[in-house]
Amino acid sequence: MSHSMQQPQPPHGGPQQTPQWGGPQQDPQWGGGPSHRADPPANNSRPKTALVLGIIALIVGLIPFVFWIGGILGLIALIVGLSGRSKYGRAANPVGAILGGAGMVFAVVGAVITLQIMSDAVDELDRSVNDASSSVESDSGSLDTDGKKGKGKKGKGKGKGKGGDKGKGGGASGLAAGDTAAYDDDLKVTVSAAKAYTPSEYASGHTPGNKAYQVTVAIENAGQENFDSTLVLADARAGADGVTAEQIFDDKVGAGFDGTILPGKKSTVTYAFDAPADAKELTVEVTPGFSHDAAIWELTL
């Protein structure tokens, strides 16, 4: 009598599995295979970098003159923080990006502070320069009220005062030939009468058909300090229309003042000017320096 071996049948409705020899048997699970869960990133460096840059941006952004560094660092921190957030999701800390944005705001505040500091410094510098200029002008650059020889009325009496036009003596007609303009620092300037002058063959500044005239300018330093005559300027206008009288330069005239005039000493220079042939008057203006008012002489030709 033969016996056939029969394998046990699985429960009705269940899947049939063939046992595998040598391996572990796993019970079947309904609804699919084993579940998977994403692990947090092992190296989360971007949020950390953004955090460090954001902190530095907050500190540097409020420092005047270097605020722009904080703004750049804040922008980098914001970009790095947002990129880390997009890559790692909620596992990335958003504090770095937030600090980066705050650092940019602080940089704007630092820029405002810097501009205010610079504005205050410029205003203070302007006040200092104005005070210094006013002090120099009041102490040495104004003409003394007793600085002119008496010649009558209309500015030809006792001196050119501070209240008149710049360099015009006490009145509108200016100084006459031989008059002296005296300054508060005891500097005295005198202009002689105009005389005809013959330019040399190679003179510059003379126009054929015009007439040349020479005047002598004398500067006396009656004060207690040295006077630098290098900055002395002499200009002229000719005729009723006041056309510019060009200064003539040749081997005799045109060199101008040069060097230092010591206290108690005097320096004299001859200038020559080119005037129209029909000019009847020559107006000469002499400015001793930047800190002195100009004085004007009206000379008859």
Indicate whether 62 pLDDT > 80. Answer: yes
Position with higher pLDDT, 123 vs 27: 123
How many Å apart are CA 293 and CA 161, to the nearest integer?
11
Residues 5-36, buried b or exposed e (16+ Cβ, 10 A)?
eeeeeeeeeeeeeeeeeeeeeeeeeeeeeeee
Indicate whether 11 pLDDT > 90. Answer: no
Q: pLDDT value at position 187?
A: 94
Q: pLDDT value at position 153?
A: 36
Nearest alpha-carbon partner for 147 in 298, 300, 301, 293: 293
Question: Which segment of 42-51, 210-219, 259-268 scores lowest on mean pLDDT?
Answer: 42-51
Confidence bin at 26 (pLDDT 50/70/90): very low
Indicate whether 219 pLDDT > 90. Answer: yes
Q: What global pTM score does this model have?
A: 0.47
Question: Which segment of 23-32, 149-158, 203-212 scores lowest on mean pLDDT?
Answer: 149-158
CATH topology of domain 180-300: Immunoglobulin-like (2.60.40)
- Give the start-to-end residue ranges of the domains of the chain: 45-132, 180-300
